Amino acid sequence: MLASGNAIWANLWMLLLIAIPWAVRIFIVVLLIKALLKYLNDKKATPEQAVIRRSLGEALKAHRQNCGMTQEYVAEALGVSRQAVSKWETGAAEPSTSNLLALAKLYGVDPGELLRGVQ
């Protein structure tokens, strides 16, 4: 009876040695899948989007400065906050289509001209 008891413990020990690595592997795979899904669903800008926004922001800032306007003047003319204009120019946010058209009209350029230098 003692031999069979030792055999049971030996079998349980072997089962644990085999099961733990598989459990750990499965756990790691689940964590990797969760991390990948979080990365793919992240609402922050990808590096490519950041470049586009930065380039659009630079174009908006250049046109504003060429017209001799301040961010505050542009904000009042469009009915938005100065912080919104600042965010557009730094690439932290993008103007809506209607605001982009209003900016083009305010700067006296074709809307396509605002986007011409954007990569």
pLDDT score of 55? 77
Q: What is the DSSP letter of 91?
A: T
Written as tens digits, the pLDDT of the chain (119 aa) is 455 667 888 887 777 777 777 777 788 778 888 888 887 777 666 666 655 555 788 889 989 999 999 999 999 999 999 999 999 998 888 899 999 999 999 999 988 888 876 66
Instruction: Pick left, alpha or beta for residue 82 (phi over 0 → left; psi -120 to 50 → alpha; otherwise beta).
Output: alpha
Do 44 and 99 form a contact (C-beta atoms < 8 A)? no
Compute the distance between CA of residue 109 and CA of residue 104 in angstroms, rounded to an integer: 5
Compute the distance between CA of residue 10 and CA of residue 13 in angstroms, rounded to an integer: 5
pLDDT score of 14? 78
CATH classification (class only), 47-116? mainly alpha
pLDDT score of 119? 60
Lookup: tokens for 16: 């644990």
Per-residue 3-state assignment (H helix, E strand, C coil) for 50-72: HHHHHHHHHHHHHHHHHCCCCHH
pLDDT score of 47? 64
